[in-house]
């Protein structure tokens, strides 16, 4: 039997926010993988080490969590006045599919740096010292994102003293603006309501805010499902019944949001929508041992990603949280004390995060104009990733 040798593909392994992923330039991919389809998906699955029935991704670059099973493809811009196209693929850990239905807000912080380092940004727009503004077209959701990347001596500055809960070491601050983050094709609240009664078999009728801003997200009250909002990962992820219950909530919410036609389709759309639960501020001990006081935050939020409670907060879900908090009457807004607000500081398992958002009501419809947050990013390794030649 003849075995195909491995091939090597230029790639960069980067941390962005509280996520990690393998970054590619579209033109560096094998020709068969430069267009969407089965070959590209198979390649990325093999790069990450999926599907893995052991759920460890030992034979790939993935880290066996939703935060570390990610891929990014950057290409020349297809939109005017943009520097780069950013396509995100969330790779399933134990199943053979790549979910292209949403964005990764955390890795967006790394996209700006990668775009500069890879020549997508014109040299005359990169200052010797200062900030380089990178206009990113997010191809999955067809939205503009603006990354403000610090530059020192003509190069991307990665080190610094900006601390981000959920990331061990400090780094340089990257400010990210999500422009017009609501779904441009429909209402920001797909059901037309700020709060719905969501009927979930085996769970009951839950109050839910379903929003499409940053990423489609279903918010429920923590107390309605037996939680306090101070839970850490093991409290949820070690409980198979709880995970199954959240997946049921997510599936029925997805149907009500019009994202899928029936609940069976949810199994092939793991990345979106997200499901999260909210509670009023309360003291708790973060996963790093840091004391979070009730006075440190406006609201508590716990969110699940790819079927597990996230160790911190997805960047796109943070946009959804901030946007929902800015709309009086949503569950997030009410848990945060109600009223008008342009920013929110929320508590997550690893600590806290402050996100700004602007929302306005026009002709009875709410829309978001901008959400902004600070993240950090760093190149971890660069060179080539190798995969067997018969992988795709």
Q: Quick check: is 314 catalytic?
A: yes
Q: How many whole angstroms separate alpha carbon 175 and alpha carbon 169?
A: 18
Nearest CA to 387 out of 123, 10, 1, 2 is that of 10
Q: Quick check: is 132 catalytic?
A: no
Q: How many whole angstroms separate alpha carbon 194 and alpha carbon 208?
A: 8
**Residue 182 DSSP one-character state:** B
Catalytic residue among 33, 104, 132, 210: 104
**Residue 268 DSSP one-character state:** G
Q: How many whole angstroms separate alpha carbon 300 and alpha carbon 280?
A: 6
- Going by C-beta distance under 8 Å and a sequence separation of 6 or more, which residues neighbour residue 36? 100
**Phi, psi for residue 106 in degrees, rounded to 5:** -65, -50
| Pairing relationship of beta strands 130-138 and 84-91 according to DSSP bridges | parallel
Residue with tokens 């489609």: 216
Catalytic residue among 188, 306, 314, 373: 314
**Phi, psi for residue 70 in degrees, rounded to 5:** -135, 150
Point out the residues that are catalytic: 104, 314
């Amino acid at each position: 039997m003849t075995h195909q040798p491995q091939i090597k593909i230029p790639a960069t392994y980067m941390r962005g926010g509280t996520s990690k992923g393998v970054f590619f330039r579209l033109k560096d991919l094998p020709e068969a993988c430069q267009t969407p389809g089965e070959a590209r998906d198979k390649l990325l699955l093999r790069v990450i080490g999926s599907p893995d029935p052991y759920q460890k991704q030992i034979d790939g670059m993935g880290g066996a969590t939703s935060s570390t099973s990610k891929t990014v493809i950057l290409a020349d811009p297809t939109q005017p006045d943009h520097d780069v196209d950013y396509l995100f693929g969330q790779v399933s850990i134990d199943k053979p599919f790549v979910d292209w239905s949403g964005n990764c807000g955390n890795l967006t912080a790394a996209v700006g740096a990668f775009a500069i380092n890879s020549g997508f940004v014109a040299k005359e727009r990169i200052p010797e010292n200062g900030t380089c503004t990178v206009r990113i077209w997010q191809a999955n959701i067809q939205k503009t994102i603006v990354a403000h990347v610090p530059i020192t001596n003509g190069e991307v500055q990665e080190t610094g003293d900006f601390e981000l809960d959920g990331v061990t070491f400090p780094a340089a601050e990257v400010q990210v603006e999500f422009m017009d983050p609501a779904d441009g094709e429909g209402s920001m609240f797909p059901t037309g309501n700020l709060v719905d009664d969501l009927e979930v078999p085996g769970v009951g009728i839950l109050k839910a805010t379903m929003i499409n801003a940053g990423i489609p997200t279903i918010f429920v009250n923590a107390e309605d499902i037996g939680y306090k909002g101070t839970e850490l990962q093991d409290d949820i992820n070690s409980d198979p019944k709880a995970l199954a219950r959240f997946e049921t909530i997510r599936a029925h919410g997805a149907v009500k949001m019009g994202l899928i036609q029936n609940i069976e389709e949810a199994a092939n759309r793991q990345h979106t929508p997200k499901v999260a639960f909210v509670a009023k501020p309360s003291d708790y001990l973060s996963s790093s041992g840091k004391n979070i006081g009730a006075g440190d935050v406006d609201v508590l939020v716990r969110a699940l990603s790819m079927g597990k409670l996230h160790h911190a907060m997805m960047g796109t879900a943070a946009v959804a949280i901030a946007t929902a908090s800015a709309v009086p009457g949503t569950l997030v807004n009410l848990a945060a004390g109600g009223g008008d607000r342009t920013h929110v500081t929320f508590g997550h398992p690893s600590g806290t995060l402050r996100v700004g958002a602007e929302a306005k009501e026009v002709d009875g419809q709410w829309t978001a104009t901008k959400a902004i947050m600070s993240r950090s990013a760093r190149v971890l390794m660069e060179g080539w990733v190798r995969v067997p030649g018969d992988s795709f």
